[in-house]
Amino acid sequence: MSTLAFLCGNEAVAEAVRLARPRVVAAYPITPQTGVVERLSEMVERGELDAQFVHVESEHSALSLVMGSSATGVRTFTATSSQGLMYMAEILYYASGGRYPLVMMNANRALALPWNIYGDQSDSLALISSGWIQAYAEDAQESLDMTLQAYAIAEHPDVRTPVLVNLDGFVLTHTYEAVSVPDPSDVDAFLPPRDLPPGYPGTFNPVNPQSLGITAGPGDYAVFKYRQHRDMVRAAEVIHDTDRRFANTFGRGACGLLESDRADDAELIVITLGSVAGTVRAAIDDLRKQGVRAGLVRLRYLRPFPADELHAVLFDAKRRAEVKAVAVLEKDISFGHQGSVAIEVKAALYDRLAASGGRLPPIRNYVAGLGGQDISRDDIASIFNDLATLADDRPLPRQTGRIGTAHFIGLEGYVEQN
């Protein structure tokens, strides 16, 4: 059984946390994350969530507190955004290196300077190498579902790696929609309480004292990092298994690391992540009516990166059409190069195609939505128009906002044409 509720993304995450039954919640409010910890504080006050709610003095302290609590074997939660995530950066590496199975929500928001409270994905993508699994939700329902799955993934004995669940600031965190909230008994069956026995490896216990946060020399340090990378790679299969188990329990999901929409016969494909995928779907609806073979690939996880799945979607022998051009649309820029997601996509596809002797289609990087700038259906249509031009091997016109291999969308009237 489930209950249909009208929730924004922040509230959907709070509902998922309530159902996951953490014992410790650390809170330091920051826009646009604040609604999550506000709702959790109300749940604790009303007795709906049996947890210690600690209002700490900074984001650095918030992550430190849940890491220390996790070291005693209990389930925890915290949330952050933007500069708060940057302030936590030191502890992110401690948490992943210590293999603490934490779950944290991040409300994606632009980084200063200039100061900006609106949403883009520059904060989480700046920390993609921090050793955390990174998930990106498209809507409020997936925000709830991904948060529940995050606990099952993080706590899996083959993974024991923290998970960062990312929601686009305001576009997703503050937009209300119908959300199916599962029954607590069904969640308990999917995600049993985390009751670790005394002396469980990697936890503090006075009966069986252990040293955590150790120092390691060059040889031992390399072994730790090798195992950390190995288990991040292993997490891909755990994510698939968890998603299938979730679908069997709740009747939705089973997307895994990525989701494709009308990609099996698409000649032109946009690869993206987060809530903008909904706008891409709408643009594809329009283009399909015009006879354009347009498709979408949505990256649900960036760590572990779905390299094999992406290659299969684009180059499977059973495809009904050849992919002629690809766009990577993202809300960040790695200054001096291109978007971080485009770099990931190109590297993953090159590795696999080079091994098989295949050839990459043109892959073009589009940077949009920085600082919360709107991305419209017309913007998406223009991207597909560019891909059609590339597919026909025609030169693209000179464009405003093109710098090197990055193509900025929506800058007409602000910057000179290159």
Q: What is the structure's pLDDT at 105?
A: 98
Pair 82, 9 in one domain? yes
pTM: 0.96
Task: Determine the Cα–Cα distance for residues 333 and 370; give it in Å rounded to an integer.
Answer: 9
Q: What is the structure's pLDDT at 320?
A: 86
DSSP single-letter state for residue 263 = -
Pair 239, 94 in one domain? yes
Could you tell me if residue 131 is inside a domain?
Answer: yes
- When pLDDT is cut at 50, 70 and 90, the band that residue 404 belongs to is confident
The 3-state DSSP class for residue 271 equals strand
- Residues 304-351: tens digit of each pLDDT: 999 999 999 999 878 888 999 999 999 999 999 999 999 999 999 998
| Domains of the chain: total | 2
Pair 379, 269 in one domain? yes
Task: Determine the Cα–Cα distance for residues 11 and 8; give it in Å rounded to an integer.
Answer: 5
Pair 17, 118 in one domain? yes
- When pLDDT is cut at 50, 70 and 90, the band that residue 417 belongs to is low
Pair 265, 151 in one domain? no
- Of the chain, the end-to-end C-alpha distance in Å amounts to 57
What CATH number has the domain bearing residue 116? 3.40.50.970
Q: What is the mean pLDDT of residues 119-133?
A: 98
Pair 13, 66 in one domain? yes
Q: What is the structure's pLDDT at 212?
A: 80
Residues 6+ apart with CB under 8 A from 186: 1, 2, 249, 250
Q: Which of 250, 285, 316 is the last residue of a domain?
A: 250
- Residues 353-365: tens digit of each pLDDT: 877 778 899 999 9
Q: What is the structure's pLDDT at 418?
A: 53
Pair 302, 215 in one domain? no
- Residues 68-113: tens digit of each pLDDT: 999 999 999 999 999 999 999 999 999 999 999 999 999 999 999 9
Q: The tokens of 257 are what? A: 């690391």
Domain of residue 103 covers 2-250
What CATH number has the domain bearing residue 375? 3.40.50.920
Q: What is the structure's pLDDT at 51?
A: 98
Pair 281, 229 in one domain? no
Could you tell me if residue 184 is inside a domain?
Answer: yes
Q: What is the structure's pLDDT at 414?
A: 77
Q: Which of 250, 273, 291 is the last residue of a domain?
A: 250
Angle between helices 277-289 and 377-391 (to 10 degrees): 60
Pair 271, 219 in one domain? no
Question: For residues 231 and 239, is the Cβ–Cβ distance under 8 A?
Answer: no
Could you tell me if residue 415 is inside a domain?
Answer: no
Pair 173, 273 in one domain? no
Pair 274, 217 in one domain? no
As a whole-number percent, the residues of the chain with pLDDT over 90 amount to 84
Asked if residue 208 has pLDDT above 90, the reply is no
More reliable by pLDDT, 402 or 38: 38
Could you tell me if residue 236 is inside a domain?
Answer: yes
Pair 8, 102 in one domain? yes
More reliable by pLDDT, 179 or 414: 179
Q: Which of 225, 250, 275 is the last residue of a domain?
A: 250
What is the overall mean pLDDT for the chain?
A: 94
- Residues 235-261: tens digit of each pLDDT: 999 999 999 999 999 999 878 999 999
- Residues 11-70: tens digit of each pLDDT: 999 999 999 999 999 999 999 999 999 999 999 999 999 999 999 999 999 999 999 999
- When pLDDT is cut at 50, 70 and 90, the band that residue 206 belongs to is confident
Could you tell me if residue 413 is inside a domain?
Answer: no
